[in-house]
């Protein structure tokens, strides 16, 4: 796991070989990473991957079966939630329906027996931060979804926690509001300078907001890194398929060394790649099974064979999406790939069943170890998409 | 205006027609039930009521879809309104009249209306102990049903899991047996030779319970404790069910949220669960207190002459002394006090902003 190191300023949270088991089911297996001060950290993965369980162990609602959870360097594995200086924004907000917005926000400080004048000031400040000052005396039921969400945020942040834990906080909002709230969350995080740990199954959310992302699958942390890191250099086939859309093409090693390597595609065609675009796990011995990842937006579609490496394909579908055009094409061996080109590109030769050539820039492909379970575009196989959700 | 146009004008205001006919029918039913009219007069009233119904049907028939839609709510209300007018409002009126009546001479068989306010004085002075006892017993029983019912409802709502519906069913099961039989069975259970007394005897608790005024001379039956116990037992489901309903609506994550915000489990219970269960406790208290205050079965079978409740006294005045005027006055005093108590309770406990 060659994840980028957390930023300077020290660790706020450290998971030390944490494992959580329910009976024989392993929910989280050997989670071992740190989250730095002021970081916006996302845990991303399909449902059941263990991300929420990990968050609950940090919050204190679950205890690890083995391993330790450290908060500000102190082992809190057995400390109950109300004695941990972290606060959670719950999925459906869990606002107290019998209290006003102001009382909801004041709940934490009151439990801590902070002086009334100080509470009043803090609540006022927090209402300003989330821009809800004029709603202080409303009940949660009188607020819209986005407003409730911000109350939940204020209720947690008013305690100045070491870290704020957010459990799918935007899942209940509709698309436009969700996009606006992503920016709002980022603004608030910069303003309060508190560590945010964010659980989501929505990769767009994770990519937009996070400094670092931990991609999880079946209880295992597959990769930790920045958004670009994870997108451009996935460490596993799961990450490659889960983040963005990708064409995963099975291939075998022809030959390779420190300068670069050549691979034969399964079904014909050759590709050469610079060595820094080959994952460290790939053994460069001839005949080794590898996967070449080509992102749809990196594929060029031409009507005539271009100079350099390319693959012949037949167009099966053309979808106009406004800003872009998505082209689905079938390779000679039947594998479906997708290419995304600019919406205003002039492509008169493009028609269903027309023959085209797919080519790429030399720094576009990335090579991973092993063959994918489903060859070709990750976006065209309904079953594998459903399985990943 | 010729009659047809006039009818057409009326038919164009179907809500007024519906409401008017409904109120007229209610008034007619009370008039018949309370015997404001009799003989040929009653026949006329009945005929007018029938005519009103037929007229209304005619209006609906000629009025078209809009009219029928406007009349529908009143049509649906009519059976209930008629039933309650005839069997609730009319007798209530008769009782008002009766409570202000007296026998003008000792040869009168029926009392007659005479603004006899003295009946109320008698009800309030002669039966003061019974009134006080009734409200005291009912209040204690209500408190006990909260103390017993809340934990029960809590466990069913939050820990019931897949057994939730079975447990709720068990709460209701006693209703399959008659109220009277269950109370009589309690008599057997609490009897001097019964299991409860013998267990207390064997544990040597009798002395302690006597000093707490729960037992009396080694007896459990025929004590105030037995009456209150019977009331508590009989009305417990009316407390459990509303509390369950309000607890069941509480998102368990609210408790998580409170604990996340530095509240211990007990503080979270106090600040979140109890306030959110208040509407249920409120509804349950009314459902228990009101019938318990007017109950006479428990005092009759589990009590002694010193534990008579107002229900017993009213029953006695009505059925044994045949003193209808005072019995009616007592009933009205009971109704009045309960109404005032409920209004005061609603004022302080009312949780309409949670509904």
Chain-chain contact of B263 with A59 (C-beta, under 8 angstroms): no
Cβ B81 vs Cβ B22: under 8 Å: yes
What the block records as the tokens of B93 is 């009126």
Q: In A1-108, where do the E strands start and end?
A: 11-22, 25-36, 40-44, 66-71, 74-75, 86-89
Local confidence band at B11 (pLDDT 50, 70, 90 cut-offs): low
Claim to verify: residue B23 and residue B145 sit in the same structural domain: no
What the block records as the tokens of B212 is 């707490």
Among partner residues B257, B263, B354, which is closest to A98 by beta-carbon distance? B354
Residue B267 located in a structural domain: yes
Residue B241 located in a structural domain: yes
Pairing of strands A247-256, A25-36: unpaired
Chain-chain contact of A97 with B354 (C-beta, under 8 angstroms): yes
Claim to verify: residue B240 and residue B347 sit in the same structural domain: yes
Q: What's the confidence (pLDDT) of residue A3?
A: 43
- DSSP 8-class letter at A81: G
Claim to verify: residue B315 and residue B196 sit in the same structural domain: yes
No. of helices (H) and no. of strands (E), chain A: 9, 21
The number of distinct structural domains making up chain B is 2
Q: How far is A198 from chain B (nearest CA, A)?
A: 16
Q: What's the confidence (pLDDT) of residue A175?
A: 85
Claim to verify: residue B269 and residue B324 sit in the same structural domain: yes
* Residue % of chain A over a pLDDT of 90: 59
Cβ B57 vs Cβ B115: under 8 Å: no
Claim to verify: residue B86 and residue B142 sit in the same structural domain: no
What the block records as the tokens of B82 is 């008629």
Claim to verify: residue B87 and residue B125 sit in the same structural domain: no
- pLDDT at B129 > cutoff 50: yes
Residue B112 located in a structural domain: no
Rounded (10°) CA dihedral B271, B277, B281, B282: 90
Residue B115 located in a structural domain: no
Cα–chain center distance at A140: 30
Claim to verify: residue B73 and residue B128 sit in the same structural domain: no
Residue B268 located in a structural domain: yes
Local confidence band at B59 (pLDDT 50, 70, 90 cut-offs): confident
Claim to verify: residue B172 and residue B26 sit in the same structural domain: no
Claim to verify: residue B176 and residue B246 sit in the same structural domain: yes
Chain-chain contact of B275 with A98 (C-beta, under 8 angstroms): yes
Does the pTM exceed 0.90? no
SS3 A47: coil
Question: Containing domain of residue B79, as a range?
Answer: 3-99
pLDDT, averaged across chain A: 89
**A116-148 pLDDT per residue, tens:** 999 999 999 999 988 999 999 999 999 998 899
Q: Which of B44, B64, B99 corresponds to the end of one domain?
A: B99
Claim to verify: residue B31 and residue B91 sit in the same structural domain: yes
Among partner residues A94, A111, A156, which is closest to B263 by beta-carbon distance? A111
Claim to verify: residue B133 and residue B95 sit in the same structural domain: no
Residue B114 located in a structural domain: no
* Residue % of chain B over a pLDDT of 70: 95
- pLDDT at B261 > cutoff 70: yes
Chain-chain contact of A94 with B354 (C-beta, under 8 angstroms): no
**A280-291 pLDDT per residue, tens:** 888 888 888 999
Q: How many residues in total does chain B contain? A: 355
pLDDT, averaged across chain B: 90
User: In angstroms, rounded to a whole number, what is the distance separating the alpha carbons of residues A213 and A223?
Assistant: 8
Local confidence band at B8 (pLDDT 50, 70, 90 cut-offs): low
- The CATH number given to whatever domain includes residue B278 is 1.10.3720.10
Q: What's the confidence (pLDDT) of residue A163?
A: 94
- pLDDT at A265 > cutoff 90: no
- pLDDT at A5 > cutoff 70: no
Q: Which of B46, B69, B99 corresponds to the end of one domain?
A: B99
Rounded (10°) CA dihedral B218, B221, B224, B230: 140
Neighbour-count burial of A190, counting CB atoms closer than 10 A to its CB (0-12 exposed, 13-18 middle, 19+ buried): exposed
Cα–chain center distance at A149: 21
3-state helix, strand, coil in chain A (%, to 5): 25, 35, 40
- pLDDT at B100 > cutoff 50: yes
Residues 6 or more apart whose CB falls under 8 angstroms from that of B132 comprise none
Residue B339 located in a structural domain: yes
Helix axes B40-84 and B3-11, enclosed angle (nearest 10) = 20
Claim to verify: residue B66 and residue B207 sit in the same structural domain: no
**A69-120 pLDDT per residue, tens:** 999 999 999 999 999 999 999 988 999 999 999 999 999 999 999 999 999 9
- pLDDT at B7 > cutoff 80: no
Q: Which of B37, B68, B99 corresponds to the end of one domain?
A: B99
- pLDDT at B353 > cutoff 50: no
Residue B33 located in a structural domain: yes
Among partner residues B254, B262, B263, which is closest to A94 by beta-carbon distance? B254
SS3 B84: helix
Chain-chain contact of B263 with A82 (C-beta, under 8 angstroms): yes
């Amino acid at each position: 796991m060659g994840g980028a190191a957390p930023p300077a300023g020290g660790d706020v949270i450290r998971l030390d070989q944490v494992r959580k088991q329910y009976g024989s089911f392993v929910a989280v297996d050997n989670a071992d990473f740190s989250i730095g001060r002021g970081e916006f950290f996302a845990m991303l993965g399909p449902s059941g991957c263990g991300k929420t369980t990990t968050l609950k162990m940090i919050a204190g609602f679950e205890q690890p079966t083995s391993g330790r959870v450290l908060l500000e360097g102190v082992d809190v594995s057995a400390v109950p939630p109300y004695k941990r200086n972290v606060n959670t924004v719950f999925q459906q907000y869990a606002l107290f329906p019998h209290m006003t917005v102001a009382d909801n926000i004041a709940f934490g400080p009151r439990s801590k027996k902070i002086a009334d004048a100080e509470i009043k000031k803090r609540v006022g400040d927090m209402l300003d931060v989330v821009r809800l000052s004029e709603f202080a005396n409303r009940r949660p039921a009188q607020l819209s979804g986005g407003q409730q969400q911000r109350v939940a945020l204020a209720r947690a942040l008013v305690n100045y926690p070491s870290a704020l834990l957010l459990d799918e906080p935007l899942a209940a909002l509709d698309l436009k509001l969700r996009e606006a709230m992503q920016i709002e969350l980022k603004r608030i995080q910069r303003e309060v300078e508190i560590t945010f740990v964010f659980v989501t199954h929505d990769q767009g959310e994770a990519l937009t907001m996070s400094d670092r992302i931990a991609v999880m699958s079946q209880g295992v942390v597959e990769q930790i890194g920045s958004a670009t890191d994870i997108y451009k250099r996935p460490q596993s086939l799961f990450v490659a398929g889960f983040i963005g859309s990708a064409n995963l093409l099975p291939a075998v090693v022809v030959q390779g060394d420190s300068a670069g390597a050549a691979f034969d595609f399964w079904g014909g065609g050759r590709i050469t790649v610079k060595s820094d675009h080959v994952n460290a796990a790939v053994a460069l011995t001839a005949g080794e099974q590898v996967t070449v990842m080509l992102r749809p937006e990196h594929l060029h579609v031409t009507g005539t064979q271009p100079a350099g490496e390319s693959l012949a394909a037949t167009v099966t579908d053309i979808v106009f999406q406004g800003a872009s055009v998505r082209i689905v094409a079938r390779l000679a061996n039947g594998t479906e790939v997708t290419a995304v080109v600019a919406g205003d590109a002039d492509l008169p030769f493009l028609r269903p069943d027309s023959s085209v050539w797919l080519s790429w820039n030399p720094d576009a492909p990335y090579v991973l170890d092993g063959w994918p379970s489903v060859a070709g575009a990750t976006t065209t196989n309904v079953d594998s998409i459903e399985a990943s959700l | 205006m010729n009659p047809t146009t006039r009818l057409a004008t009326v038919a164009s205001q179907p809500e007024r027609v519906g409401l008017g006919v409904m109120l007229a029918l209610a008034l007619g039913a009370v008039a018949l039930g309370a015997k404001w009219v009799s003989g040929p007069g009653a026949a006329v009233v009945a005929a007018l009521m029938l005519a009103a119904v037929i007229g209304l049907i005619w209006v609906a028939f000629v009025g078209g879809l809009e009219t029928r839609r406007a009349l529908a709510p009143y049509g649906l209300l009519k059976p209930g309104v008629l039933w309650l007018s005839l069997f609730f409002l009319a007798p209530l009126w008769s009782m008002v009249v009766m409570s202000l009546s007296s026998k003008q001479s000792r040869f009168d068989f029926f009392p007659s209306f005479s603004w006899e306010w003295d009946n109320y004085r008698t009800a309030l002075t002669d039966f003061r102990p019974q009134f006080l006892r009734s409200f005291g017993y009912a209040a204690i029983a209500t408190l006990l049903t909260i103390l017993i019912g809340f934990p029960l409802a809590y466990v069913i709502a939050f820990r019931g899991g897949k057994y939730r519906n079975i447990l709720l069913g068990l709460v209701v099961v006693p209703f399959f047996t008659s109220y009277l039989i269950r109370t009589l069975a309690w008599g057997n259970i609490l009897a001097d030779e019964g299991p409860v007394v013998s267990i207390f005897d064997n544990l040597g608790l009798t002395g302690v319970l006597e000093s707490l005024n729960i037992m009396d001379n080694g007896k459990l039956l025929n004590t105030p404790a037995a009456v209150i116990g019977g009331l508590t037992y009989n009305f417990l489901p009316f407390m459990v069910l509303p509390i369950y309903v309000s607890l069941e609506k509480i998102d368990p994550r609210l408790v998580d949220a409170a604990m996340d915000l530095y509240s211990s489990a007990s503080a979270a219970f106090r600040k979140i669960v109890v306030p959110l269960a208040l509407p249920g406790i409120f509804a349950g208290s009314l459902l228990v207190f009101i019938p318990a205050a007017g109950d006479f079965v428990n005092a009759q079978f589990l009590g002694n002459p010193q534990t008579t409740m107002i229900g017993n006294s009213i029953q006695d005045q009505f059925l044994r002394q045949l003193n209808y005027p005072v019995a009616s006055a007592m009933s009205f005093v009971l109704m009045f006090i309960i109404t005032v108590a409920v209004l005061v309770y609603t004022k302080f406990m009312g949780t309409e902003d949670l509904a």
